[in-house]
C-alpha cells in the first residue's frame, strides 16, 4: 500500500489500547493495523505550512511558515506560555480564535510517564493531550474558565513539578510509580487560596495503554531534516512517535506539513 501527501499530527481515540490515525494528504490512515509490518517513509523535500498551506523551506513551531509563526493565532505566544495569555483582557492575535481557544474551560493536570509532569490543556482536548504526551496515567487537578488562569496555576506548580516529558524514558516504557491522588492533594495544598478554588472534586485517574509490542531498550530519533528515508518494521506507537525496529523513533508531530510518501508491505 502506498500513500502520498503532507502529514499531520496523528489523531487518536482512547480505547483499551489507543487507536491512532495518521492524516496524510486527504486520507486518514488507521495506523495500528500496520504494527508488525514493514513501513517506509520517503521525504519528498517539500514542507507546506499547516496554517496557510504555502511552501516553506523551513518549519517553525512544528509546522508553520515564518509569516504564520509570527502572525497566526495558533502560533501565539500563549500556546507555549499560557500564563501570558491576554485574551481575557481583550488582547490577542485574533479575537474569534481566542474566543474558541483561550476563553473556554481549561484543565490543569498531572500526568505520569517516566516522570510526573504538570500541564494544561483545553477541556475538550482531554484525553488527546495526554495521549500525545505518552502519559500512562493522568488526573485533572483544576478546572478554570480560561487559559490565563490555568497557565497561572501551572506556572505556580512548576516550582514543584516539571512541565516536560522525558521522551526517551517515555518511549522506553518506564512508568514512574506514584500515587496520583495524593499528588493532586499535595498540588492543591501548594496553591494560594485564590487559585485553590479551581481544584476539582473529580478524582478520576485515566489509564492509557499504547499499542507497543515491546519497549525499546534504547531509542534513536530519526528526522527528515537529516535523512530522506526512515524505514523498518513498525513495532509500536506511543505519544506522537512511531517506533521502528524497536529502536528508531519518528516524531510525527515534529514533521507537521512535510510531504511524505509512505509504503507499507508485509
In the complex, the residues that contact Zn ion under the rule CB under 5 A are: 49, 51-52, 65, 68
Between 155 and 253, name the residue whose CB sits nearer to Zn ion.
253
> Per residue, what are the HEC states of 234-266?
EEEEECCEEEECCCEEEECHHHCCEEEEEEEEC
Between 165 and 256, name the residue whose CB sits nearer to Zn ion.
256
Residues 6+ apart with CB under 8 A from 102: 78, 85, 87, 88, 92, 146, 147, 148
Half-sphere exposure of 144 (CA within 13 A, CB side): 26
Between 51 and 170, name the residue whose CB sits nearer to Zn ion.
51
Q: 187, 196 in Cβ contact below 8 A?
A: no
Residue 259: CB minimum distance to Zn ion, A? 15
Residue 67: CB minimum distance to Zn ion, A? 5
Between 101 and 184, name the residue whose CB sits nearer to Zn ion.
101
Residue 63: CB minimum distance to Zn ion, A? 9
Question: 80: how many CB neighbours lie within 10 A of its CB?
Answer: 9
Q: Name the grid cell of 264.
A: 507499507
Residue 253: CB minimum distance to Zn ion, A? 17
Residue 258: CB minimum distance to Zn ion, A? 14
Residue 62: CB minimum distance to Zn ion, A? 13
Burial class (CB in 10 A: 0-12, 13-18, 19+), 91: exposed
Between 61 and 169, name the residue whose CB sits nearer to Zn ion.
61
Residue 61's region, left for phi above 0, alpha for psi from -120 to 50, else beta, is: left
- Omega of the bond prior to 124 within 30 degrees of 0, cis? no
For residues 228 and 231, give the distance between their C-alpha atoms in angstroms, rounded to a whole number: 10
Residue 186: CB minimum distance to Zn ion, A? 43
Between 65 and 249, name the residue whose CB sits nearer to Zn ion.
65
Between 55 and 164, name the residue whose CB sits nearer to Zn ion.
55
Question: 3: how many CB neighbours lie within 10 A of its CB?
Answer: 16
Amino acid at each position: 500500500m502506498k500513500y502520498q501527501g503532507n502529514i499531520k499530527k496523528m489523531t487518536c481515540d482512547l480505547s483499551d489500547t489507543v487507536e491512532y490515525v495518521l492524516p496524510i494528504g486527504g486520507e486518514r490512515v488507521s495506523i495500528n493495523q500496520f504494527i508488525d509490518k514493514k513501513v517506509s517513509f520517503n521525504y519528498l523535500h517539500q514542507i507546506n505550512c499547516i496554517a496557510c498551506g504555502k511552501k516553506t523551506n523551513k518549519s517553525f513551531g512544528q509546522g508553520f511558515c515564518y509569516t504564520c509563526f509570527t502572525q497566526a493565532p495558533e502560533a501565539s505566544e500563549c500556546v507555549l506560555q499560557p500564563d501570558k495569555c491576554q485574551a481575557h483582557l481583550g488582547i490577542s492575535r485574533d479575537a474569534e480564535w481566542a474566543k474558541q481557544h483561550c476563553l473556554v474551560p481549561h484543565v490543569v493536570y498531572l500526568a505520569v510517564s517516566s516522570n510526573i509532569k504538570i500541564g494544561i490543556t483545553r477541556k475538550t482536548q482531554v484525553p488527546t493531550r495526554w495521549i500525545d504526551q505518552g502519559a500512562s496515567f493522568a488526573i485533572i487537578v483544576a478546572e478554570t474558565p480560561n487559559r490565563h488562569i490555568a497557565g497561572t496555576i501551572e506556572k505556580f506548580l512548576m516550582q514543584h513539578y516539571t512541565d516536560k516529558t522525558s521522551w526517551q524514558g517515555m518511549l522506553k516504557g518506564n512508568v514512574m510509580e506514584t500515587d496520583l491522588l495524593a499528588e493532586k492533594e499535595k498540588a492543591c495544598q501548594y496553591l494560594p487560596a485564590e487559585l485553590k478554588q479551581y481544584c476539582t472534586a473529580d478524582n478520576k485517574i485515566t489509564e492509557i495503554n499504547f499499542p507497543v509490542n515491546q519497549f525499546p531498550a534504547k531509542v534513536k530519533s530519526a528526522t527528515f531534516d537529516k535523512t530522506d528515508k526512515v524505514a523498518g518494521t513498525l513495532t509500536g506507537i506511543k505519544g506522537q512517535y512511531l517506533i521502528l525496529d524497536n529502536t528508531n523513533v519518528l516524531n510525527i508531530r515534529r514533521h507537521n506539513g512535510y510531504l511524505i510518501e509512505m509504503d507499507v508491505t508485509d
